[in-house]
Every structure is written in structure tokens, then in C-alpha cells.
Amino acid sequence: MTKTRANIDFPTEIVEEGKVKILVPKLKAFIKLPSDYAPSKAPVFYNPVMELNRDIAVLALQTYQKMFNREISVCEPLASCGIRGIRFATEVKGVQKVLINDINEKAFQLARYNVQMNGLSKRVTVKNQDANFFLAHYGAPRKRFDAIDIDPFGSPVPYLDSAIRALRNGGLLALTATDMAPLCGVHPKACIRKYGGKPLRTEYCHELAVRLLAGCLATTAAKYDIGISVVFSHSTAHYIRIYAITNYGAKKADESIKNMGYILHCFNCFHRETTKELLLLEHSGRCSECNSKLNIAGPLWIGKIFDREFCELMQQEAKQRKFRLDERIGKILTLIKGEAEASVTYYVIDKLCDLLALPVPSVKKVVEILRKGGFQASLTHFNSKGIKTDAAAMKIQQILQRTVKAKRQT
Ligand SMILES: C[S@@+](CC[C@H](N)C(=O)[O-])C[C@H]1O[C@@H](n2cnc3c(N)ncnc32)[C@H](O)[C@@H]1O
Ligand SMILES: [Zn+2]
């Protein structure tokens, strides 16, 4: 049966994103108060700001498909109007089929309309079920998907178990989390409940958020004797995103769990360190630089959160395409490639300069000085004033003092 627009009984409009045209709720029609957040006021969720998230998802999926060089099946269990899944089917070569699903009847109607409007009825199937119930049907061998993209309201944690079970060995799992208040330590108890790790309100809390989510994924997957490798992740102001590949086998799960640990942070001098000693029995709990009490974040993932080669392939892929947000995507990918092998956590020079009552020097200049001094140093996409380095906090403080003094003398 052909769906007509008449079945959709709320104000809509057609938007273009990537290579597709999609019928979405007309957001302006749902704003009653200036404080209203339009995407969640509409009967079907649609957030134009997530275009960047979806563009990067297209690049990651294409990179994955090319790495494994096979036809892939993709699932988006929380699809809303279907824009993401429809983009996968249209823009990613080698996608054989896409299954999209949403519990909201109106979202289902809209997604079905959009699939037909884009001429994809043969390759894209739309369902209207609870995401966990839906995924449960694909948990058996030969039924599993090559890639699953979980893009929920808030936390993806309620869907992790069923997504992992519905993903084949070597499958790609993409997760969005928008519950930044728990993950960044504003509501630590909620983070411990949901993610099983303690957050910290530090200047690098967005990286901690990625590591808490990756840690939660690794421990969830390990229950099923599945290991994970995190190949890509990124953060913006209101969400984080991770991409992980699963590896079946108890040994793989053990290896993956070895990446779990803690980050110890000194709020006095900004020193930080990682540890794998779960009970911290051999650790004094004191800062090695200033002897203040250390604060703990974790357990969380202290392993790699980017794979340099995967980033490079994504970059190559981006260069062959034309996105509206090309420039922003290019910058993010360059920064991420540059920080792919850098140390865990980053320093924010504004914070250090505040502590030292110094004017803030150029972040690129500080990176240059650190490198000249024999340290590893790179910028980070997590924060425009952030530096990833293996230099100690005290060393960076000295460098900042010297840089500012030298500038004053010239
Ligand atoms: C953030 S929106 C998805 C946006 C979409 N992925 C995109 O890129 O535009 C989350 C969606 O999850 C749906 N949802 C919430 N709980 C669900 C559940 N238990 N099962 C399936 N869908 C659910 C909501 O109806 C909503 O459409
Ligand atoms: Zn200290």
C-alpha cells in the first residue's frame, strides 16, 4: 500500500541532508514558548543539529564496509523519521539492507513514507516495535547484523545487551549518548547506576564520558564472551559518540577487559594518572606531585578510543564526498587523527593559567614548546584550548610561566 502524506496528521516539511530528501516535522509549528526545545516538542523527533553526527556515521560505516569488503546489513532500532538509516542505504556503498524501527507509531508512519519517497522499499524495512524486542529477533547466528546504530534519547545503555547479541562477530556498533549531566559528573550517582563507573567534574570530563561509555560497553560485551575495539569516538557540546568493533571469544573479552581501569585526578595541581589496580591497594591515594588527595574516576576504559588507521580512512572517505558541513568535519577528523595515539586525558590551558594567574598563551605555541622539549603533544578535538601530552602537570605549569615571561620581555 502506498503511503500518502495525508496519513501524516501534523505539520511537516521536506529537508535535504546528505543525498536524501526527508519529510520531517515542521519544527517551528511546535514552538509555543521561547524556551521550548523544538525537536522534542514535535510528535516525531527530528534534530537538524545532528546532521554532523549523521555525516560522520556515514563516513564510519563506509570505512567499515571497505575495511571488510563485503555487503553489509545495517540496523537502526531507534530511527525516528528514518533519516539516518535512509542515508546509510543511499550514501554508503555495499549496504545490502537496512532495518529501521521506532516505537512511536507516528515516527513509523513518517519513516515508511520517507523510505518510499526515496525509492528504497526493496532495501529498507521499517518496523514499529520496542527496540529491545525488535533486536531480540536478530540475536541468533546468521540473523545478526553487520552494523547497528543506537541513537536514543539520553543513554544508550538500556539497549546495549540486545544490540551486542544482535551484532555479528566483527560487527560495528555505533552509540550516541546525550545524557551529559551524569557522564560529566553533574549527577554522579546516575552515572554510577547507568554506566557502572564514577565520573569526575574535571576539564576533560568529555573524554571521561567517552571512556565511561566505552567501559560500560566492554563490560556488557564481556558477559557474552565478546571483546571490543573502539575504532572511533567524538564529542560535541551536547553528546558523545563511540564506534566499536566486536570480537567474539572469551580470550578477546579478557583482552578487552584489560583496558578497564581508573583515572586519578588532583584538583590542586591538575596532575592525573591512570591505574589498573582495581582495589588501589598499592596506591597511597596521594598526588605524586603535590601530595594532595587524589580523586577517582572509574572504572572506565583506559585503552584506545580512536584507531589512527580508521581515522585516516574516514578522512580519505570525507575527501571524496561533498557534505554541507565539510569544513567542520575536516577539522574534527584532522584533530582526531592527530590525537589518536596521544596520552589519556588532556590539559586545558585556560584552567592552568587561571590557577597560575597568567594570561592565556596560544595553545599551538604551547604544543610546539612541549614537542621541542621532547614531549609528545597534540591538540584535541575535545576542547579548543586542550592539549594532550605526556608532560607532567608541573612541567606544563613551568612552560606556561616561561612562555608568558618571555612574551612580556619581548
Ligand atoms: C533521538 S531519536 C532518534 C533520532 C534518529 N536516530 C536520527 O538520527 O534522527 C530517539 C527515538 O527513539 C524512539 N524510542 C524511544 N524509546 C524507544 C523504544 N523503547 N523502542 C524503540 N524506539 C524508541 C523515539 O520514539 C525516538 O524517535
Ligand atoms: Zn597535585
Q: Whose CA is nearest to atom 17 of ligand 1?
A: 103
Integer Cα distance of 301 and 224 in angstroms? 18
Q: Is 103 in the pocket of ligand 1 (CB under 6 A)?
A: yes
241 lines ligand 1 (CB under 6 A): no
84 lines ligand 1 (CB under 6 A): yes
Cβ–Cβ < 8 Å for 401, 356: yes
- Give the DSSP letter of residue 272: E
Candidate of 128, 132, 148, 153 to mutate for ligand 1, largest count of ligand atoms within 8 Å of Cβ: 153
For residue 147 the three cell numbers come to 552494523
64 phi and psi, to 5 degrees? -60, -45
Cα within 13 Å of Cα(356), Cβ side? 25
In b/e form, how buried is each residue of 218-253, taking b as 16+ CB within 10 angstroms? bbbbbeeebbbbbbbbbbbeebbbbbbbbbbeeebb
Alpha-carbon separation of residue 292 from 87, 173, 198, 274, 283 (angstroms):
51, 40, 20, 16, 13
Mutational test site, ligand 1, from 17, 103, 150, max ligand atoms within 8 Å of CB: 103
Asked if residue 128 has its Cβ within 6 Å of ligand 1, the reply is: no
Any atom of ligand 1 within 6 Å of the Cβ of 110: no
- Does the beta carbon of 51 sit less than 6 angstroms from any atom of ligand 1? no
For residue 81, which atom of ligand 1 is closest to its CA? 9
Q: Is 55 in the pocket of ligand 1 (CB under 6 A)?
A: no
Helix and strand totals (H; E) in the chain: 15, 15
78 in contact with ligand 1, CB cutoff 6 A: yes
pLDDT at 278: 56
How far is the C-alpha of 335 from the C-alpha of 386, rounded, in Å?
A: 11
Q: Provide the whole-model pTM.
A: 0.96
**Cα 111 to ligand 1 centre (Å):** 12
pLDDT score, position 294: 93
Ligand 2 centroid – CA 214 distance (Å): 27
Q: What is the pLDDT of residue 375?
A: 97
Phi, psi angle pair for 241, to nearest 5° = -145, 135
Q: Which ligand is nearest to the CA of 25?
A: 1
Best CA proximity match to 214, nearest among 202, 200, 231: 231
Neighbour-count burial of 166, counting CB atoms closer than 10 A to its CB (0-12 exposed, 13-18 middle, 19+ buried): buried
- Per residue of the chain (410 residues), what is the pLDDT tens digit? 445 565 788 999 999 999 999 999 999 888 877 777 777 789 999 999 999 999 999 999 999 999 999 999 999 999 999 999 999 999 999 999 999 999 999 999 999 999 999 999 999 999 999 999 999 999 999 999 999 999 999 999 999 999 999 999 999 999 999 999 999 999 999 999 999 999 999 999 999 999 999 999 999 999 999 999 999 999 997 999 999 999 999 999 999 999 999 999 999 999 999 998 756 556 778 999 999 999 999 999 999 999 999 999 999 999 999 999 999 999 999 999 999 999 999 999 999 999 999 999 999 999 999 999 999 999 999 999 999 999 999 999 999 998 877 777 77
